[in-house]
A and B are shown apart, each in its own frame.
Chain A
Amino acid sequence: MRTTFLRELVKAATIDPRIFLVVGDLGYSVVEPFRDKFPDRFLNVGVAEQNMTGVAAGLSREGFKVFTYSIANFPTLRCLEQIRNDVCYHGLDVTVVAVGGGFMYGPLGASHYATEDIGILRTLPNLHVYAPCVPDQLPPVMNDILTSAGPAYLRLGRAAEFPIPDNKKLLEGGWMFSRNGGSSATVAMGNVGSIIRKVQKEERADRDLWFTGRVKPFPKIVAESLARYREVLAIEDHQRSGGLASLVAEQLFINRDTKEFPLVRSYSIPDRFPDFSGKEEYIQYTMIHMDRNK
């Protein structure tokens, strides 16, 4: 995902001389193509995320389209107030990019997980929030970010290891949809392919499959489509509170003038930190699936 993101960013920066990349001393062996091609529009601020975000705001105020880049909670929670006050309050064209969505940095522990980011960041006014699951979603997501020209958050995990059906369709905000003719849907956020497979095997259900793209503002067409299902199952590598399950429930239940609602179920992280080591899939299985927090 991050390599595809960088490729898209380089492509965009070749056309648009305003694009500027600021990193917090992370991105080794990933960001070099940008650095080498656009040295005047690249900056490593060091291990200083609050300054990184403030500097990004200052650059943006002077006409640059700035991307900040680091791991998981470093460019997000560590400098949350700078994102809120400097970027969002002033409506600046800064995109915060976090790599390592969910449990991607498995053995590194909770200090390196992005499992609360969507819930926290989507409450910030003016901020558009993107959580694509597979590389094919990145071109439309990047196009959406670049054309909306305001504050944005882009969550990048490992590409969801799930065979993408041939009948996939890309929708508004980079959402991806595959119809299987079912009356139920699975909505996935993050690298949760193995859980999708397990659930499909257990439940033997032919569900339509949705991969998240722009989750804020939530595309109307997605909300209306989800409302027609009998059941919507949200699967995410994020805490349930404020994450995909909450988001889907908000879209389906709040201010909807209907008596018929889909049943919403979720496989999410149940308000806990994992206190054990493991690879991403192991931690996901233990925390999200085995827990069966339905």
Chain B
Amino acid sequence: MNLTSGDDAVRALAKSIRREAIEMVYRANASHIGGALSSADILAVLYSGVLNVDPRTPMGPERDRFIMSKGHCCTALYAVLALKGFFRIEELREFGRDGSRLLSHASNHVPGVEWSTGSLGHGLPIGCGQSLAARRKGESWKVYCLLSDGEINEGSTWEAVIFAAHHGLENLTAIVDANGQQGMGHTRGILRIENLDERFRTAGWDAQVVDGHDVAALREAFSVSPSGRPRVIVAKTVKGKGVPFMQDNVEWHYRSPRTPEEFKAALMALECELQ
């Protein structure tokens, strides 16, 4: 089933994802809130009619496969899955606790999570394998893979880029959450990759750049018909989107709100910012 929603509902979902993600990292004193906030709109769109998934049968054979290759931002993924009914939303409170299945990197023990990820550069090769399997078995489901822009540093990602183009994996869509930051600072200052969409095009992919916080633009980008080539959507985003004091600040790759006041300030800012 497609969990279709209007744009306002998608924006509301994205806001809820952000709120839950902030609460999770606050309670668990966990990292990576910046990249979770940058990917919230992408995930909200994907789980609002793009992905053919059903919370009642998370592993149904006809489902689309979604790979969260940037597994360190799992709070946003867990949040959208809980909000869409894949598991009880109360379980989000257990994120990062001793014995919880909600690990601080994406865990496939959580309903709706296809793969355990966390080490970068693994998602796209796996996605290539699943895409090829669908084709060889004559099945019509699709594969979506969300990557970080830091992850574009990894050689294994480029091995998969070449492979997907060679095999014309039109049932594979990669989304790059291009928030412009990675572990130690801005991507442009660490390993500059200019014109990412053009690089994919040169490799044999269809590529499109969109505003990664514009749900209508994202939805439109996901609706493009297959062309015989794999497709990448380079989603220009802001790390920490929704909480101004976290935005575009690499510190929030690591830290979480430290005090109840800072936590409340983050939620308040989120309410004001994304009215």
Residues of A that sit less than 8 Å from B by CB: 40-41, 43, 45-46, 48, 50-51, 53-64, 81-82, 85-86, 89-90
Contacts and interface: CB of A to CB of B under 8 A. Distances in A.
* Interface of chain A, main secondary structure: helix
B163 A51 contact: yes
Given A45-B163, A48-B159, A82 B122 contact: yes
Given A46-B162, A48-B163, A82-B156, A54 B125 contact: yes
Interface in B136-180: 136-137, 155-156, 159-160, 162-163, 166
A54 B121 CA distance: 10
A214 to B, nearest CB: 26
Nearest to B124: A54
A86 B122 contact: yes
A157 to B, nearest CB: 28
Contacts of B155: 50
5 contacts: A46-B162, A54-B122, A58-B128, A59-B133, A61-B126
A64 B139 CA distance: 14
B115 A90 contact: yes
Interface in B117-134: 117-119, 121-122, 124-134
Given A48-B163, A51-B163, A90 B128 contact: no
Given A51-B125, A51-B156, A58 B133 contact: yes
B2 interface: no
Contacts, number: 87
Given A40-B136, A50-B121, 16 more contacts: A45-B163, A46-B159, A46-B166, A48-B159, A48-B162, A51-B128, A51-B160, A51-B163, A54-B124, A54-B160, A55-B125, A56-B129, A57-B125, A62-B130, A85-B118, A90-B116
Nearest to A54: B125
Contacts of A82: 122, 125, 156
B159 A51 contact: yes
A55 B108 contact: no
B119 A81 contact: yes
Contacts of A86: 115, 122, 125-126
Contact of A50 (B125, B127, B137, B166): B125
Nearest to B115: A90
A51 B132 CA distance: 13
Given A48-B159, A48-B163, A55 B132 contact: yes
A55 B137 contact: no
Contact of A46 (B115, B126, B156, B163): B163
Contacts of A85: 116-119, 122
Contacts of A41: 136
Interface in B183-204: none
A55 B164 CA distance: 10
Most B-side CB within 10 Å, residue of A43, A51, A89? A51
A81 B126 CA distance: 13
Given A81-B119, A90-B115, A90-B116, A50 B159 contact: yes
Nearest to A66: B129
A239 to B, nearest CB: 26
A63 B136 CA distance: 12
A54 B119 contact: no
Contacts of B130: 58-59, 61-62
A89 B116 contact: yes
A188 B119 CA distance: 37
B133 A54 contact: no
Given A46-B162, A50-B159, A51-B159, A64 B133 contact: yes
